[in-house]
C-alpha cells in the first residue's frame, strides 16, 4: 500500500499524466505506431531507450514477465573484449534488449554493470520531476498488467488503474483511457495505458 507521501506523489503524477495525455491526443494522426509518410520523414530514427539497472532479474520480471515484452538480445559485454569471464574482465556488463511490437523502434535496453558496480541514483519520490524519464506502454489489459507489475520486488505504485476521458481528435467526443502509473525497480516512471475507445 502507498504511504501518505506516496499518495501525494500519486496525485501529482495523476495530474501530470493527464497533461501528457491531453498533449498526446491533441496531436493529429493515430496514437499507435504507424509508418511515417515519405514526405514527412526526417533523417533520424529513435532506435532504443536504455536504462542502467541494478538487478537484471528484477527488471526482467517487470518488463518481460509483467508487461509482456520479448527478449531479443541478452549478452555479456566485457572490457577488454577478449575477457571471457567476470574475473578476467576489467568491466563486466550484461545488456538485454526487449521489444514490443516493432523490432526496429520501441526497443528497450537494460544495462547492468556487474563489475565494477555503479552507484544507484535514488529516484524515490522524484517521478515526473524535471530531468526524469517516463516510459509509456499501451496494453490490452491494464488491470492484469498492473497487478503483475505491482507485485515485482522494488516496484512503487504511484497510481492504480483509473479511467480518464480526453477530448477526441475532432473535439466532438471523448476518448476513454484506463491509466496506471508505477516506478520500476530502479525508480523509472512507467505509465500503463489501455485505450477503451476507438481512436479513429
**What residues does each domain of the chain span?**
4-27+46-195
For 76, the grid coordinates are 555479456
Predicted confidence at residue 6, as pLDDT, reads 46
Q: Is the pLDDT of residue 4 over 90?
A: no
Q: Is the pLDDT of residue 106 over 50?
A: yes
Three-state SS at 106: coil
Q: What is the mean pLDDT of the chain?
A: 84
Q: What residues pair up with 192 in beta bridges, in sequence order?
A: 137, 180
Predicted confidence at residue 162, as pLDDT, reads 97
Confidence class of residue 170 from pLDDT cuts 50, 70 and 90? confident
Q: Is the pLDDT of residue 68 over 90?
A: yes
Multiple choice CATH, 4-27+46-195, 3.40.50.720, 3.10.180.10, 3.55.50.30, 3.40.50.300: 3.10.180.10
Q: Which residues of 176-186 are buried (b: 16+ CB within 10 A; e: fewer)?
A: ebbbbbbbbbb
Name the more confident of 75 and 26. Answer: 75
Amino acid at each position: 500500500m502507498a504511504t501518505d507521501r506516496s499518495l501525494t506523489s500519486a496525485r501529482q503524477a495523476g495530474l501530470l499524466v493527464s497533461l501528457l495525455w491531453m498533449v498526446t491526443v491533441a496531436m493529429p494522426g493515430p496514437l499507435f505506431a504507424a509508418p511515417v509518410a515519405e514526405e514527412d520523414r526526417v533523417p533520424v530514427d529513435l532506435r532504443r531507450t536504455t536504462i542502467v539497472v541494478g538487478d537484471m532479474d528484477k527488471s526482467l520480471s517487470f518488463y518481460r514477465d509483467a508487461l509482456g515484452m520479448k527478449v531479443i538480445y541478452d549478452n555479456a559485454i566485457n572490457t577488454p573484449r577478449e575477457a571471457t569471464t567476470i574475473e578476467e574482465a576489467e568491466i563486466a556488463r550484461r545488456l538485454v534488449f526487449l521489444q514490443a511490437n516493432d523490432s526496429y523502434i520501441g526497443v528497450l535496453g537494460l544495462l547492468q554493470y556487474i563489475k565494477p558496480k555503479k552507484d544507484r541514483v535514488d529516484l524515490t519520490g522524484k517521478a515526473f520531476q524535471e530531468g526524469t524519464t517516463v516510459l509509456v506502454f499501451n496494453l490490452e489489459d491494464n488491470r492484469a498488467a498492473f497487478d503483475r507489475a505491482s507485485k515485482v520486488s522494488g516496484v512503487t505504485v504511484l497510481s492504480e488503474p483509473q479511467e480518464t476521458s480526453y477530448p477526441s481528435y475532432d473535439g466532438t467526443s471523448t476518448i476513454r483511457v484506463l491509466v496506471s502509473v508505477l516506478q520500476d525497480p530502479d525508480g523509472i516512471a512507467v505509465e500503463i495505458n489501455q485505450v477503451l475507445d476507438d481512436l479513429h
